[in-house]
């Protein structure tokens, strides 16, 4: 079963505040209520469907003809949809108020039951991978509807060399809720419960991190110290979470004969290790030309000889502190989408009108932002923590890009819609780029243009440089954990080793910053996910260059790429644009766009 990320019922009071009427989720498209008959009915159906599936097919997969195998695949897909729908609802409700123990219990109970129901299905992937290649090729040749699922089969069979015995696979599936999933939940609940004292005010994580983008330097410094103090108080818990998850991964990887800790992620992403290494090496080689150079410029703008970590995301002195209302944010993004293609704006519209976005900051709400595809028979939901900053407008453009991508890919059906992580960031980053170019076009003064360019460069550095530094940190963390238990100081040292290298000479690192690895959720939820952001940014920069060169068929090719979902490999998807991610020059094309923006900023200094 593919895992569905964990998910307030419609709040009739809405989210009115100084930014306007902020929309909240209406989850009734998934289920009317957690205790209604609809969920009970689906849970009963799922229980029976899983048992019947195992009864009909276990031990018999190699005897099926093409039509019967197609029937099995479609039944499996239907089970995936119902399980995914239930978990999406439970997860989205939980994320709206993670401190609500009833929501947490509901999600955990659903997860436990669905894990139990689906344990009998473990045989399916194992038996499928034991099918002889020639036999499977013959079945695919005999039935075009079955052949459509070939990309799914290819991804399953990529795990063939790493498959364990049927009994062990069932055990791992069964025990998953008390393994990584339990440690993930401990991390989420700990983070949601943290309180930070800043200048006499008690804030949650999201609001405290937001202070790091305040114009007032003393507020940024106070927030940094508050973060460091609270992370330090909880550092043993965070170190325990990381030690346990890294060790659990090492044990499973060893049993599966994975060649490296990253190998499982590369397989899941359908990307070759050498492509990721080419990306990583290109970005690390570009640190001096990108982040080091930009932050030296920024120090000058801020009037500083040396920068502290709390200056990294500081607004520029000439930047206005104007809050952007929700209506303006919506209009900006919708106009940018419509300028590219009217149909793109039409796909985005229901997110605003039909309760598909949850925007306000609320007590207990999960931090950050995401777009969750739910299942292909419903629609995606977008979560934001909207605070009226220019960056929040870019976040809206980003998550809406994901949403549009997920809507378009849904036509592939449940098993083929899910885009590998390497391409999952394409539409989101492209949506951001369209919005940025729209804003740049409207800049009335040199200063306004400078602020916009600097903001975009910072976002790109955070997406490319910072995420590759995160990736290096994870690589070091997993390698070090393989040698033994890591103390908090050990993990702190690994974190600092990548920070100075990636940020550059101009930075001083205040005591306490060494613990800032603790709040990054990707290290816990999705080991080695972070390179997908850099992959997506580099890929979109290269794509955007093709768009700017004036390819007359670009829009059609672009929509075709999004509609493909997970049905094609990145080589196939990029070929129509004349791009190839395995070519090291490909990454330089993307990085040179960031460099060009920094060139323009430097030229403005003259």
Greatest Cα pair distance in the chain: 75
Which pLDDT score is estimated for 14? Answer: 41
- Which stretch, 63-67, 168-172, 526-530, has highest mean pLDDT? 63-67
The Cα–Cα gap between 157 and 3 comes to 18
Q: For position 17, what pLDDT does the model report?
A: 65
The answer on 251 and 284 residing in a single domain is yes
Distance CA 395, CA 392 (A): 5
| Residue for token pair 């939980």 | 94
Q: Where do runs of H (alpha helix) occur along 418-445?
A: 421-424, 426-441
Cβ count near 422 (within 10 Å): 25
Q: Mean of the pLDDT values across residues 264-269?
A: 87
Q: What is the pLDDT of residue 386?
A: 95
What is each CA distance from 483 to 95, 125, 252, 265, 420, in whole angstroms? 36, 33, 16, 21, 31
Same domain, 121 and 192: no
Question: Is 415:263 a contact under the CB 8 Å cutoff?
Answer: no
> Angle formed by the axes of helices 426-441 and 390-409, to 10°?
140
Sign of CA dihedral 577, 578, 580, 586: negative
Which DSSP helix (H) or strand (E) runs through 599? Answer: helix 584-603
Tokens of 121: 């299905």
The answer to whether residue 39 is domain-embedded is: yes
pTM (predicted TM-score): 0.80
157 with 129: CB under 8 angstroms? Answer: yes
- Please give the tally of structural domains in the chain: 2
Contact by Cβ (8 Å): 314, 455: no
CATH number, residue 225: 1.10.1370.20
Cβ proximity of 542 and 475 under 8 Å: no
Residue 255 lies in a domain: yes
How would you classify the pairing of strands 201-203 and 196-198?
antiparallel
Q: Looking at the chain, how many residues does it have?
A: 606
Decide if 402 contacts 410 (C-beta within 8 A). no
Range of the domain at 89: 15-178
For the ranges 153-167, 451-465, 526-540, the lowest mean pLDDT is seen at: 153-167
| Shared domain check, 267 and 134 | no
Domain shared by 90 and 233, yes or no:
no
Question: Considering only 343-357, 412-426, 498-512, 558-572, which range has the smallest mean pLDDT?
Answer: 412-426
Residue 5 has pLDDT above 50, yes or no: no
> Cβ neighbours of residue 579 under 8 Å, at least 6 residues apart?
539, 542, 543, 546, 586
Q: How confident is the model at residue 16 (pLDDT cuts 50, 70, 90)?
A: low
The per-residue pLDDT of the chain, averaged, comes to: 91
| pLDDT, greater one: 9 or 68 | 68
In this prediction, residue 606 carries a pLDDT of: 62
Same-domain pairing of 167 and 35: yes
Task: Please indicate, yes or no, if residue 85 is contained in any of the structural domains.
Answer: yes
Neighbours of 13 (CB within 10 A): 6
Closest among 383, 366, 359 to 99, alpha carbons compared: 366
- Three-state DSSP at 200 gives coil
- Residue 352 domain flag: no
Give mean pLDDT, residues 260-272. Answer: 89
Q: Point out the domain boundary residue: 505, 525, 545.
A: 525
The rounded percent of the chain whose pLDDT value lies above 70 is 97
Are 106 and 189 contained in the same domain?
A: no
Does 242 or 541 have the greater pLDDT score?
A: 242
Are the beta carbons of 580 and 554 closer than 8 angstroms?
Answer: no
pLDDT number for residue 367: 84
Number of C-beta neighbours around residue 56 at 10 A = 12
pLDDT for residue 15 is more than 70? no
Q: What is the mean pLDDT of residues 389-396?
A: 89
Facing residues of 16 across strands?
21
Q: Which two tokens stand for residue 283?
A: 């970005």
Grade residue 6 by pLDDT with cuts at 50, 70 and 90: very low
Q: What backbone torsions phi and psi does residue 17 show, to the nearest 5 degrees?
A: -155, -165
Question: Above 60 in pLDDT, residue 565?
Answer: yes
Strands 307-308 and 507-508: parallel
The candidate with the shortest Cα–Cα distance to 73, out of 28, 140, 19, is 140
Of 160, 178, 196, the residue at which a domain comes to its end is 178
Residue with tokens 């990085």: 591
Same-domain status, 209 and 231: yes
- Does residue 128 register a pLDDT over 70? yes
The confidence score (pLDDT) of residue 160 equals 83
Do both 286 and 240 map to the same domain? yes
> Are 161 and 259 in a shared domain?
no
The CATH number that applies at residue 159 is: 1.20.140.70
Q: Is residue 550 one of the residues assigned to a domain?
A: no
Same domain assignment for residues 165 and 206:
no
pLDDT at 274 over 60: yes
What pLDDT, in 10s, does the model give residues 136-193? 999 999 999 999 999 999 988 888 888 888 888 888 888 888 889 899 999 999 998 9
Q: 164 and 41 in one domain?
A: yes
Among 484, 500, 525, where does a domain finish? 525
3-state helix, strand, coil in the chain (%, to 5): 70, 5, 25
225: confidence class by pLDDT, cuts 50, 70, 90:
very high
Radius of gyration of the chain (CA): 24
**Measuring CA to CA, which residue among 520, 522, 540 is closest to residue 531?**
522
The C-alpha atoms of residue 273 and residue 469 are separated, in whole angstroms, by 17
Residue 150 lies in a domain: yes
Q: Return the higher-pLDDT residue of 12 and 500.
A: 500
Is residue 139 located within the same domain as residue 28?
yes
Residue 402 placed within a domain: no
d(CA 371, CA 347): 14
Helix (H) or strand (E) holding 122: helix 122-130
Helix 531-548 and helix 426-441, axial crossing angle in degrees, nearest 10: 50
Burial of residue 262 (CB within 10 Å: 0-12, 13-18, 19+) is buried
Nearest to 344 by CA among 402, 399, 404: 404
In which region does residue 272 sit, left (phi positive, over 0), alpha (psi from -120 to 50) or beta (all else)?
Answer: beta
Domain membership flag for residue 440: no
Report the interhelical angle of 66-96 vs 37-57 (nearest 10°): 150
């Amino acid at each position: 079963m593919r895992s569905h990320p964990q998910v307030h019922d419609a709040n009739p009071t809405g989210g009115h505040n100084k930014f306007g009427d902020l929309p909240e989720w209406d989850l009734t498209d998934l289920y009317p209520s957690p205790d209604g008959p609809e969920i009970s009915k689906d849970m009963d159906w799922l229980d029976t469907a899983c048992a019947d599936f195992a009864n009909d097919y276990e031990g018999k997969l190699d005897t099926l003809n093409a039509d019967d195998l197609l029937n099995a695949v479609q039944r499996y897909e239907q089970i995936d949809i119902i399980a995914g729908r239930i978990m999406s609802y439970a997860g989205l409700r939980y994320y709206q108020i993670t401190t609500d123990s009833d929501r947490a219990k509901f999600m955990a109970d659903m997860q436990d039951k669905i894990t139990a129901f689906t344990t009998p299905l473990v045989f399916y992937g194992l038996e499928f991978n034991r099918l002889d290649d020639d036999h499977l090729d013959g079945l695919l040749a005999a039935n075009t509807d079955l052949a459509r699922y070939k990309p799914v089969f290819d991804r399953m069979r990529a795990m063939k060399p790493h498959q364990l015995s049927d009994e062990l696979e069932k055990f791992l599936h069964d025990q998953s809720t008390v393994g990584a999933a339990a440690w993930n939940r401990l991390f989420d609940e700990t983070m949601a419960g943290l309180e930070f004292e800043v200048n006499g005010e008690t804030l949650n994580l999201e609001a405290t991190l937001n202070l790091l983008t305040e114009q007032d330097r003393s507020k940024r410094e106070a927030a940094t110290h508050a973060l460091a103090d609270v992370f330090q108080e909880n550092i043993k818990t965070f170190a325990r979470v990381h030690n346990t998850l890294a060790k659990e991964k090492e044990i499973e990887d060893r049993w599966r004969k994975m060649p490296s800790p990253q190998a499982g992620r590369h397989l899941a992403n359908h990307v070759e290790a050498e492509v990721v290494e080419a990306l990583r090496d290109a970005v690390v080689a570009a640190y001096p030309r990108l982040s080091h150079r930009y932050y030296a410029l920024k120090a000058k703008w801020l009037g500083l000889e040396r920068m502290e970590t709390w200056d990294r995301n500081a607004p520029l002195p000439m930047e206005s502190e104007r809050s952007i209302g929700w209506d303006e944010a919506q209009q900006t993004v919708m106009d940018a989408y419509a300028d590219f293609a009217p149909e793109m704006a039409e796909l985005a519209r229901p997110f605003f009108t039909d309760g598909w976005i949850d925007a306000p900051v609320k007590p207990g709400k999960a931090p950050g932002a995401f777009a969750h595809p739910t299942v292909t028979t419903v629609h995606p939901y977008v979560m934001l923590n909207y605070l009226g900053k220019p960056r929040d407008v870019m976040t809206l453009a980003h998550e809406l890009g994901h949403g549009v991508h997920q809507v378009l890919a849904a036509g592939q059906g449940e098993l083929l819609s899910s885009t590998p992580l390497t391409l999952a960031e394409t539409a989101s980053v492209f949506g951001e780029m369209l919005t940025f170019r729209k804003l740049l076009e409207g800049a009335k003064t040199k200063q306004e243009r400078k602020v916009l360019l600097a903001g975009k460069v910072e976002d790109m550095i955070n997406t490319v440089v910072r995420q590759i530094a995160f990736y290096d940190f994870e690589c070091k963390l997993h390698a070090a954990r393989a040698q033994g238990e890591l103390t908090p100081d050990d993990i702190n040292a690994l974190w600092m080793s990548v920070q100075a290298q990636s940020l550059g000479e101009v930075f001083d690192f205040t005591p306490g910053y060494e613990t800032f690895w603790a709040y990054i959720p990707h290290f816990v939820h999705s080991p080695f996910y972070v390179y997908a952001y850099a992959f997506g940014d580099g890929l979109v920069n290269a794509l955007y260059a093709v768009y700017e060169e004036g390819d007359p068929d670009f829009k059609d090719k672009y929509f075709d790429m999004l509609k493909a979902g997970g049905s094609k490999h990145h080589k196939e998807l990029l070929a129509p644009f004349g791009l190839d991610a395995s070519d090291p020059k490909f990454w330089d094309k993307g990085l040179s766009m960031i460099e060009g923006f920094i060139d323009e900023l430097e030229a403005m200094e003259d």
